[in-house]
Amino acid sequence: MTILARREFVATIVTLAGTALPFGIGGSDDDQDAGPDDRLDDADAELTGVVDRIERDLAVVLLEREEETVAQRLVQLDRLPASARDDGAVLSVRLSDGDIERLRHDAAATRRRREAARERLNELAEDAS
């Protein structure tokens, strides 16, 4: 089984089973407990979210506080703003009782992060020359 086939299999199982992972699917009525690796110390928060990857109809969103990843959530793709349905998109995330209440695309922050990443890659390429 190839890696892509495995990812599709896992995404299908998660979609069919609800949540069998140690973190919840954003916005559902299911328990949003992200397990022992979830370092959110309050249930109501304004955080930065970054779309880590998209697999089928789910997005893995990393939740950050002060540029440190503190948790992750699975979010149905149709809940993301259309402009944020891309790896690396930066979101403003509002949590209420641990559940994702609001997602807003931060286009300016997305552009800044992508430019910074390009600059780092260019510096690494120059150093390797």
Q: How far from 7 is each of 17, 56, 77, CA to CA, in Å?
A: 15, 9, 16
Q: Give the model's pLDDT for residue 126.
A: 86
Higher pLDDT, 114 or 15: 114
Here the tokens at position 60 are: 């893995």
Indicate the pTM of the whole model.
0.67
Q: Give the model's pLDDT for residue 20.
A: 39
Residues 40-87: pLDDT tens digits? 666 688 999 999 999 999 999 999 998 899 999 999 999 999 999 999
**Mean of pLDDT over the chain:** 78
Beta strands in the chain (DSSP E): 25-26, 45-55, 58-65, 68-76, 90-96, 99-105
Q: How far from 77 is each of 5, 54, 80, 110, CA to CA, in Å?
A: 20, 8, 6, 18
Nearest-angstrom CA–CA distance, 65 and 44: 13
Domain map of the chain by residue range? 3-128
The upper half-sphere exposure of residue 87, i.e. CA atoms within 13 Å in the direction of its Cβ, equals: 5
